[in-house]
Structure 1
Amino acid sequence: MSGDGTAVYLYGVTRGLDPAALNGATGVDAEPVRAVTAAGLTALVSTARLDRYGEQALRANLEDLRFLEDTARAHHDVVGLAARNAPTAPVRIATLYRDEDRVRQVLTQRREHFTRVLDGITGRTEWGVKAYAHPPQAAQEPDRGSGGGGAGTAYLRRRQDQRRRRERAARHLAGLAEGLHDDHAHRFVESARAAGDRLDGIEVEVTGPWPPYSFITAQDGTGE
């Protein structure tokens, strides 16, 4: 770590990013975000105080929900900004290195790994889709069998009715899910958003695009 009580906070690794995209960007503790380049890659970094992000301080601070929320939001905002301009692979929050030379060393040593990850996400976007299925009333109504019989017969009839209702609901929802899946074959986002209106019993929520949060894990860990 540097002698002034600070370290370098790493947000993610990108490739082909125009440095102008970072103009005015801030990260944790509102520190300016800057680019560190090596081996054809760019690391997104800012300065972090050790009394807040050092190993011992971090153990305590991560129990503070406000601190955790602010850090996660700042981390996500930096990664999201970069991802809108170039392929960007985020790292886990609170990844620190002692100085920029160490960051350059990591980029060089792990160039093959970072390149493979960036190749995998280039030209792709991540979206979140949630489909809420609402069984029709007919699938929920109990069967009305003939009367008669004792308490044991009534119990068995109720169990049979429940099983048949579950089977009807399952068949109905499976059909709706198949229709929703087929809708994704072309023009994914438009189809997904329209599916809620087109498919009876389906409500669709679409979010994104998101940065690719399959995090790169730094082999040498935090605090190097």
Structure 2
Amino acid sequence: MTDRMTYVYAVARAADGLEDAVAGLTGVDGTQVRLLAGTHDEDGSLVLVVSAVPSRDFQEDALKQHLEDLEWLESVARAHHGVVEAVAARTTVLPLRLATVYLDDDRARSVLDTRRVTFTERLAHLSAHVEWGVKIYVTPSNAPVPGELTPSEELSPGRAYLRTRKAQRSVRDTAYQAAQTAAERVETAGRTYAADRARHRIQQGELATAPGENVINDAYLVPRDRAEAFRAEVSRAADGLDGVRIEVTGPWAPYSFATPRETPDVPAERAGP
């Protein structure tokens, strides 16, 4: 195996000024980003956004170990995202998953050649669209419902504990019902403004860094000219609802919509999560 491999960030539509845009751009491991055309590139309409990375870090065994290293993973993710967003500012991109690597440029080109029709169709679907992330959190208070206990009641410690727990459950149930209402409002905004929606796993464990319980983790593909209207309406979806918080992030390059849900992931030799 050679000491360098080809890391692919995205498939992109060729565009005026794109070469200049990546000329000073560095990616994973601080390597120079460049554009890679296909072998049979009759119209020059598609390119891969790539850089060379050290094989010692990205061959299969080493990569498996690195993926357990959160500091290394965060560094790669930041570099990957930075490249994709820089290119997305100039043209339509089809972002590939983190740590999409090939043995060399020729292997990467072969994927571009064989999947050209699929890539072209997908880029047409994503053109002039951005991605918004929408998370809904339940953050119920642990305090008993007002009026649940009265000063005149004399309860044993056990009964008092059970009464308090019942009141707390009532608060939580109310918050979950409110979260359902918020989710319905968001879905209405999605039907009004968005072209597509992708559901992601709710964030739990180490991924759950925000306060509250994540109950919805969706992404919406929204036409660029309707993006702010979508964001504004979704941001209001929790208005008047206690115990519910909505987090809207974006606009991003359309990571969640790069691969049609009915087909396998794009790269044939992808190494990564």
TM-score normalised according to structure 1 size: 0.74
1:79-138 deviations in Å (ceiling 9; x for gaps): 121122222122222222233233222111111222232223222211122344566999
Work out whether residues 176 and 199 of structure 1, in 8 Å CA contact, stay in contact via their aligned partners in 2. Answer: no
- Matched residue SS, 1:21: helix
Matches within 5 A, 1:19-58: 19-38=19-38, 39=41, 40-58=45-63
Matches within 5 A, 1:115-154: 115-132=120-137, 140-143=145-148
Q: Distance between the aligned counterparts of 1:108 and 1:77, measured in 2? A: 26
Tell me what 1:16 maps to: 14
> Displacement of 1:195 after TM fit?
5.3
Separation in 1, partners of 2:133, 2:50 = 27
CA contact (8 A) 1:15 1:87 kept: yes
Q: Is the 8 A contact 2:26 2:83 kept in 1?
A: yes
Helix, strand or coil at the partner of 2:251: strand
SS of corresponding position for 1:93? coil
- Whichever residue aligns with residue 213 of structure 1, its letter is Y
Structure-1 separation of matches of 2:19 and 2:49: 10
* 1:52–1:195 CA distance, 2 compared to 1 (3 A): same
Aligned pair 1:208/2:250, yes or no? yes
Match of 1:98 in 2: 103
- Aligned-partner SS, 1:140: coil
Q: Distance in 2 between matches of 1:89 and 1:35?
A: 14
In 2, Cα distance between equivalents of 1:94 and 1:26: 15
Change (3 A) 1:148 1:51: closer
**Secondary structure of 1:94's partner?**
coil
Equivalent residue for 1:189, pick from 231, 237, 240? 231
Q: Contact 1:14 / 1:87 at 8 angstroms: preserved in 2?
A: yes
Q: CA deviation at 1:192?
A: 3.1
Q: 1:144 to 1:63 in 2, by over 3 A?
A: closer
Q: Distance in 1 between matches of 2:32 and 2:158?
A: 74
Question: What are the superposed Cα offsets for residues 185-210 of structure 1, whole Å, 9 maximum, x if unpaired?
Answer: 461112334556x5453543321112
Structure 1 residues 153 and 31, CA gap change in structure 2 (3 angstroms):
closer
Q: How far has the Cα of 1:142 moved from its partner? A: 4.8
The number of residues matched between the two structures is 219
Cα pair 2:145 2:168 within 8 Å, conserved? no
Of 28-37 and 177-186, the range deviating more from structure 2: 177-186
Instruction: Report sequence identity in percent.
Output: 37
CA contact (8 A) 2:143 2:168 kept: no
Which amino acid letter does the alignment assign opposite residue 56 of structure 2?
D
What 5-or-longer segments of structure 2 have no aligned partner? Answer: 194-228, 259-264
**What RMSD, in angstroms, separates the aligned Cα atoms of the two structures?**
3.7
| Counterpart secondary structure, 1:125 | strand
**TM value normalised by structure 2:** 0.63
- Give the whole-Å Cα distance in 2 for the aligned partners of 1:70 and 1:82: 19
5+ unaligned residues in a row in structure 1: which ranges? none
